[in-house]
């Protein structure tokens, strides 16, 4: 009796497998996005995805300052060009076309209610197979991924679905100003560089580095990759001639650090073989800057701090990446903050 039961079970299993193979290889299974999944199929796929994300997100530790305003500010900029075309956003309803994907991309204003911070990080960084959700373009820029997660945790509600045009990246200063502030003057929390008054040659080379993958960024690489050579030159020329915003006077609490930053800029730190930053960049005494190098005077301290830490970690890249990485690895956290505070206080 037991043998007969096993035989029946085996034949049933073989029949199911045979039908599945016939459906897949014979073309009977309908892969059209116009035909929704069966409820049981949808449930099984969603559970498999949730369980996979939860399993692989184990051990991921969110940064303690995850909700810091400058981090959220960076996330807003990328979301508007990298996420909103499919998921919609606070000022953009989800596009009618993507609503007909199978599965349709979800709106994300309630993402933080359904996923933990580490799970959101894993999804944004690695993407999800069979959903159209891509992996992050720069695998070594976890700081950018956390910026998007920080924004998702605070994102306002999206408008109801409608026939809204998708947001497209365009080679206009207006599209750049969404992240870099009005007239390239920077955002309110110092998360992005101020482009106004920056060296034209440096701006053009930076965009080409992003486009060619020499400088890693999941935020900037897709933007730069879509630009033509002429558009790159035009944008660099546009921002180079703009008047930069006034310098930010250092607060009393950072005055001592600013003095340390001034010493590092003018004399370096011989005891740790750190060269003077002013040898290539501004020295605070009016010396002209080599056009190959970026102007740092007046740049936001949060942005400069982040860039120096990326160089110290070896993930910044760019044309002068090897030079700056060697220097940044000799800097302490205190020295990095002091340099950032000092350069922020200098007039452009």
Mean of per-residue pLDDT scores for the chain: 86
pLDDT for 173 equals 82
What is the pLDDT, as a whole number, of residue 163? 41
Q: What does the pLDDT read at residue 40?
A: 85
The DSSP call for residue 341 is H
CATH of domain 173-240: 1.10.760.10
Q: Looking at residues 290-312, what average pLDDT do you find? A: 92
Indicate if 173-240 has the same CATH topology as 69-152.
yes
Closest CA to 260 of 338, 341, 344, 345: 338
Flag the least confident range among 9-13, 170-174, 182-186, 195-199.
Answer: 9-13
Domain boundaries, the chain: 69-152, 173-240, 252-345
The percentage of the chain sitting over the pLDDT mark of 90, rounded to a whole number, equals: 49
> Residue 166 has what pLDDT?
39
pLDDT at 57: 96
The string of pLDDT tens digits covering residues 197-225 is: 999 999 999 999 999 988 989 899 888 98
Calculate the alpha carbon distances from 179 to 105, 183, 223 in Å.
24, 11, 12
Cα dist from 325 to 67, 277, 280, whole Å:
28, 13, 15
| CATH level 3 topology of 69-152 | Cytochrome Bc1 Complex; Chain D, domain 2 (1.10.760)
CATH architecture of 252-345: Orthogonal Bundle (1.10)
User: How confident is the model over 7-47, as pLDDT tens digits?
Assistant: 666 666 766 666 666 655 667 777 788 888 888 888 988 99
Q: Which of 162-176, 213-227, 300-314 has the lowest mean pLDDT?
A: 162-176
pTM confidence score: 0.75
In the structure encoding, which two tokens stand for residue 98, read together? 């993507």
Residue 206 structure tokens:
């930076």
Query: Is the omega angle on the peptide bond into residue 263 within 30 degrees of 0, that is, cis?
Result: no
Give the 3-state secondary structure of residue 89.
Answer: strand
Q: Considering the chain, what percentage of its residues have pLDDT values greater than 70?
A: 85
């Amino acid at each position: 009796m037991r043998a007969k039961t096993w035989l029946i079970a085996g034949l049933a299993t073989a029949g199911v497998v045979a039908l599945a193979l016939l459906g897949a290889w014979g073309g009977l299974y309908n892969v059209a996005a116009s035909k929704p999944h069966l409820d049981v199929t949808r449930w099984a796929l969603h559970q498999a995805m949730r369980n996979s994300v939860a399993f692989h997100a184990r051990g991921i530790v969110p940064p303690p300052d995850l909700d810091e305003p400058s981090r959220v500010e960076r996330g807003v900029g990328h979301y508007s060009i990298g996420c909103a075309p499919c998921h919609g956003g606070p000022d953009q309803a989800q596009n009618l076309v993507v609503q007909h994907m199978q599965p349709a991309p979800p709106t994300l204003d309630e993402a933080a209610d359904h996923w933990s911070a580490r799970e959101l990080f894993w999804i944004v960084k690695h993407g999800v197979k069979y959903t159209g959700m891509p992996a992050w373009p720069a695998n070594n820029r976890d700081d950018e991924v956390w910026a998007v997660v920080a924004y998702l945790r605070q994102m306002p509600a999206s408008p109801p679905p409608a026939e809204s045009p998708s947001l497209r990246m365009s080679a206009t200063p207006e599209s750049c100003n969404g992240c870099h502030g009005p007239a390239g003057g920077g955002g309110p929390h110092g998360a992005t560089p101020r482009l106004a008054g920056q060296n034209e040659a440096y701006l053009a080379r930076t965009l080409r580095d992003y486009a060619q993958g020499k400088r890693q960024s999941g935020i900037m690489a897709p933007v730069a990759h879509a630009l033509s050579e002429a558009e790159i030159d035009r944008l660099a020329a546009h921002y180079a001639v703009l008047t930069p915003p006034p310098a930010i006077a250092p607060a009393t609490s950072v005055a001592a650090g600013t003095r340390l930053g001034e010493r590092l800029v003018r004399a370096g730190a011989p005891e740790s073989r750190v060269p003077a930053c002013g040898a290539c960049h501004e020295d605070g005494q009016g010396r002209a800057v080599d056009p190959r190098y970026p102007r740092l005077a007046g740049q936001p301290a949060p942005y400069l701090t982040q860039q120096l830490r990326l160089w110290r970690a070896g993930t910044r890249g760019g044309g002068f990446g090897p030079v700056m990485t060697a220097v940044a690895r000799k800097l302490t956290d205190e020295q990095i903050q002091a340099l950032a505070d000092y350069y922020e206080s200098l007039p452009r």
